[in-house]
Structure 1
Amino acid sequence: MNYEISGKLIYKEETQHISDRFQKREFVIEVENEKNPQWNDFVKVQLIQDRCDLLENIALNENIKVYFNIRGRKWENKGQVTYFTNLEGWRIEKLQQQAPESIPVPEYRVEDIPPLPDADDLPF
């Protein structure tokens, strides 16, 4: 199944060459909690093999959208069974930075300004 998540890239590791035939690269994105930014999520995603290069043109603090699959594995060692779950990225898109909304400033012409009254009628 394919999933996607958007957030700000806050950490990226160098590519790790595990063996002659396997390499991986991990990174973390901060996903904003709309109700309370103190509860933002920090999601680690893994890239493998030729997809490790997907992060090359992305700088820290850039907003990105990551497409990924969920991968689960079972590992047994000396009678102990452990389960691993990875988010395995396969595509990354840069998101456009949203410019703050600006309120248009009305244009004034000299003709729009009313004339001053002839008498200064100040209350003091």
Structure 2
Amino acid sequence: MEIQGTIKKIDETKTYGNNGFRKREVVITTQEQYPQFLLVEFVQDKCDLLNAYQVGQDVKISINLRGREWVNPQGETKYFNSIQGWRIENLSQSNAGGEMPPMPPVDQFEPADDLNAGDNDDLPF
């Protein structure tokens, strides 16, 4: 599955337990009629995928839905869901938003020196 949105928050990598389990969370805001704030977890070696991203970027994240069962000390069974990311892509670079590519600096163009004020052109203004 994939989800798309704008990065709202990126947490630092956190390490848990004696085995050094690593987890890093990112929150994205979806672009739909009723935007959703989705928390996506990246674990172990996938934590480092978020190093190249920052708040405000439009991304597409490939995810797996995870669920687990837990029995509390009183014997009640509880269920938990999580969204686990395994790939992230920057949509801004791919020009997926339909935006125009950036213009080169002005000094990259040679000045036009063969202009005549009396020349007519076909421009409507």
TM-score class, shorter? 0.7 to 0.9
Equivalent position to 1:87, from 58, 83, 96: 83
Contact 2:10 2:54 in 1 (8 A): no
Max Rg structure: 1
Q: Which position in structure 1 is the counterpart of 2:12?
A: 14
The yes-or-no answer on 1:76 pairing with 2:71 is: yes
- For these two proteins, the number of residue pairs brought into alignment is 99
| Alignment partners' CA distance in 1, 2:121 and 2:14 | 70
Q: Which position in structure 2 is the counterpart of 1:30?
A: 29
Give per-residue Cα distances to partners, 1:55-89, cap 9 Å, x unaligned: 10101100010001011000111112111101110
What stretches of structure 1 move > 6 A for 4+ residues in a row?
none
The yes-or-no answer on 1:54 pairing with 2:49 is: yes
- CA shift, 1:12, in A, is 1.1
What TM-score do you get using the length of structure 2 for normalisation? Answer: 0.72
Relative to structure 1, is the Cα distance of residues 51 and 20 closer, same or farther in structure 2, using a 3 angstrom cutoff? farther
Identity, % of aligned positions: 36
Relative to structure 1, is the Cα distance of residues 56 and 111 closer, same or farther in structure 2, using a 3 angstrom cutoff? closer
Q: Per residue, is there more strand in 1 or in 2?
A: 1
Name structure 1 gaps, 5 residues minimum. Answer: 101-108, 114-124
Relative to structure 1, is the Cα distance of residues 91 and 112 closer, same or farther in structure 2, using a 3 angstrom cutoff? closer
Name structure 2 gaps, 5 residues minimum. Answer: 101-118
| Alignment partners' CA distance in 2, 1:30 and 1:54 | 19
Give per-residue Cα distances to partners, 1:68-118, cap 9 Å, x unaligned: 101100011111211110111000011125326xxxxxxxx61548xxxxx
| Alignment partners' CA distance in 1, 2:89 and 2:121 | 51
Equivalent position to 1:64, from 54, 59, 63: 59
RMSD (CA atoms): 1.7
